[in-house]
Amino acid sequence: MKVLIVKLSAFGDIIHALPALDDVLSRPEVDEVHWLVDSRFRFVTEVLPPEVVVHEVAMKGGHPLREVWRVVKQLRAEKFDMALDFQGLIKSSVLARLICSNVYGFDSSIIREKPASWMEYASKPHPDEVNIVQQVRRVAQTPWLSDEDLAKPIPYIPPHIDKSFEVQLPVELEDLKPWVVFNLGGSFATKELPDTTWLEVGKQLKEKGYHIVFCWGNAKEETKAKQLNEEGLGFVLPKRLSMPELCVFLRESLAVVAADTGVLHLAAALGTPTISFWGPTPRARNAPHGVQDYHVESNPDCGPCIQKTCDNFICMDMIQADAMVRYILSIQQGGEDGR
C-alpha cells in the first residue's frame, strides 16, 4: 500500500505530525509513505525518517496554479492507495483529492476551514483528544480503526526525533556549554514576549552563572537579539542555522525558552527541556507535553483568543520572568513533571 501525507506547513505543525507519521509507518500493510510539503518548509522535512519520500510544491510564487498542476500530474502517476490530509485547509484537501480519490482528513467540528471536510472522509475526534498531536494521530489511524477503537481516545505521544546529524557548530559555542537558548521568534506579534521580560530573565540567569545564546531565524529576529544583547547579556548566533545545525545546537542546550514556535516544538522533540509561555494560543492544544516541557501561562479573561492582532494586548505582559527562571533552575537540579 502506498500512502501520501499532505502536510504543507508550517514548522511547528510538521513537528506535531511526527507521531501520526510513526503510526502510518508502523502499519504492516503500508509499503511506501510519501509526504507533500510547501517548498518554503522543505527544510523541516530533513528530520523525517529516511524511508519517507518527500515531494514539494511551491504554493507561493509567480505561477501557483501551474505549479499545483505539475505536482498533481507527477503524484497521480504514483497511484497512491490513500491520502491523509494532516493540514485541514481547503488548499490541502483540494490537492489531496486531485491526487487520490481516497482521502482522510479532520472532522468539520475541529477543522480550520470547514469546506475542506467536504472532499474527505472525516476522522471524528474523541472529546478527550484536545492536543493537536492527538487529533492528527486520529486522522492517521482512522482508516484502520474498528468501531470499538473509534470510540476510544487516542493518547498523546510526544513527538520524537531520533535522526542524528554530523555538523560543526560555531566555534564560539565551545566555551558556553551548557547554554540556555533564547528563541525570540513568534509567527505573529501577539506571541512575542516583551523585551523587558526577556532582559529580566536573562539578567537573573547571568547572575546565577548561566550562559545565554540568542537563536534567530530571520533579519528581524537577528536585529532584536543584538539589541537585547547590547550590554553583553549573552551570545548571539553569528548566522542562521541550517536544520541539521539547529538540531545539534538544540540537543546540546541545557534548555530552550520560546513561544509557540517551530523551534520550541523541535527542541521538545529532540529531548531538550523547554520553557514556553502562553497567552493568545491555547496551551492544552498546542504545547509540547513531555516530562521536561514547562509552561508559563498568563490566563487573561479574554484568552486564549488565537488572534494575530489585539487592541488590548495584556497577556504577554502578564508572563512572569521569575516563573521561567524557577523552571530553568529546577531543570539543572533534576527537574519536575512539566505536564
CB-hemisphere CA count at 13 Å for 207? 7
Question: What is the Cα–Cα distance from 169 to 49, expressed in whole angstroms?
Answer: 23
Model confidence at 132: pLDDT above 80? yes
Model confidence at 85: pLDDT above 60? yes
CATH code, residues 2-150? 3.40.50.2000
Confidence of residue 335 (pLDDT cuts 50, 70, 90): low
Model confidence at 195: pLDDT above 50? yes
CATH code, residues 171-332? 3.40.50.2000
Same fold, 2-150 and 171-332: yes
Model confidence at 128: pLDDT above 60? yes
- Based on the number of CB atoms within 10 Å of its own CB, is 210 exposed (0-12), middle (13-18) or buried (19 or more)? buried
Bridging pattern class, strands 179-183 and 121-123 = unpaired
pLDDT tens, position by position, 250-270: 999 999 999 999 999 999 999
Do 138 and 126 contact (CB within 8 A), yes or no?
A: yes
Q: What is the pTM of this model?
A: 0.95
* pLDDT value, residue 280: 86
Q: What average pLDDT does this structure show over 103-131?
A: 94
Q: What average pLDDT does this structure show over 71-90?
A: 98
How is the chain split into domains, by residue range? 2-150, 171-332
Cross-sheet strand order for the sheet of 32-38: 53-57, 32-38, 2-6, 82-85, 103-106, 121-123
Side chain identity, residue 60: K
